[in-house]
Amino acid sequence: MPNLALMKLAGWHINQGDEVELLREGYHANLQDIDKIYVSCIFPQNVPAIASMLSWFKGIPVEYGGPGFEKPSHLPEEIEHTRPWYPLYGVDYDMGKTTWGCPKKCPFCVVPILEGDFQEHADIEEFHWPGHKNVVLMDNNYLYSSRWEETLDWINQRKMKVNFNQGLDLQYLTHEKALVLKRTRLFPSSFKKPGVSFAWDLMEEEPYVERGIKILEDSGFRMWKVQIYMLVGFNTTFEQDLYRVDKILKHGLDPFIMVYNHRMDDPELLRLARWVNKHLYSVVDFKDYRAEGDEERMPSSPRSMGISRGAYSRSYP
């Protein structure tokens, strides 16, 4: 995923008449031609690689930002509302947020710390590039917005494809919203095969999940498009994680497991994630799925030839 903050910074500097280039591994340039370097880091594990790259550019001022650092800084308001310079990454789709923050305070999530309470943020026209036919909406909780319909109408009038890269919250789904989503061209970030993601992260959300799925079914939503993100290993037992997977499968939906970062060394959770995310449930029960590589030794099955919905991304610190 291209870095949105860097594209906005590039857009602002270009508007000021400056020249901007993307600094990549192996980049070579006359250091005297570089006035400043911006670094945006999403994940803490990438900080050492950044330090290694910057060791070649000693003496040049560097400004750091992003949640990957202990004290992330935010873009100034003027730059925050600048249209991203998509050519920086060669991006042929729009990217941006129409809202900021989240109304929920999920204990595993850093959004309330980084962005605070929910607020309306920007019109989609602000980050639309003329000629783009696809858009990635990076809102943390899009369905909570009071302007959800206005934005989707704008997208649908232009027959654009849209990817909600943070997934949608079934707690805030209504029949009206489901009907609008039904006629929207929903896609994962690859924009190849149709699909949309919702989430079930905590056990206490089960009533909202059940109600939301029923709303989708009653509205005539094409359920084969639906994927359910599932956070496992945070405050649930393994039995509860397996229960949620079974529940989603019984609804005919596609679960996708995200293992909590601090449990990435748990072999049983990793085995569950592999079984689910590789759709091995279509050929073998979990109790019979023993070890990594077992799927290569399983008999082939027509059921294993189902539609793949691609690699959806969602990150939990």
Q: Which is it for strands 226-232 and 196-199: parallel, antiparallel or unpaired?
A: parallel
Q: Any idea where the domains of the chain sit in the sequence?
A: 1-91, 93-317
Q: How far is CA 9 from the centre of its chain?
A: 21
Structure tokens at 95: 């990217």
Question: What pLDDT was estimated at residue 292?
Answer: 53
Question: What pLDDT was estimated at residue 146?
Answer: 96
Which position has the token pair 């949608």? Answer: 168
Tell me what percent of the residues of the chain surpass a pLDDT of 90. Answer: 69
Instruction: Tell me the pTM.
Output: 0.86
State how far the Cα of 314 lies from the Cα of 168, in Å rounded to an integer: 12
Give 105-145 pLDDT, tens digit per residue: 899 888 888 888 999 999 999 999 999 999 999 999 999 99
Question: What pLDDT was estimated at residue 86?
Answer: 98
Question: What pLDDT was estimated at residue 69?
Answer: 84
Contact 192, 161 (CB under 8 A): no
State how far the Cα of 67 lies from the Cα of 84, in Å rounded to an integer: 19
State how far the Cα of 287 lies from the Cα of 291, in Å rounded to an integer: 11
Q: Is pLDDT of 31 > 90?
A: no
Give 133-192 pLDDT, tens digit per residue: 999 999 999 999 999 999 999 999 999 999 999 889 999 999 999 999 999 999 999 999
Q: Is pLDDT of 70 > 80?
A: no
State how far the Cα of 260 lies from the Cα of 180, in Å rounded to an integer: 33
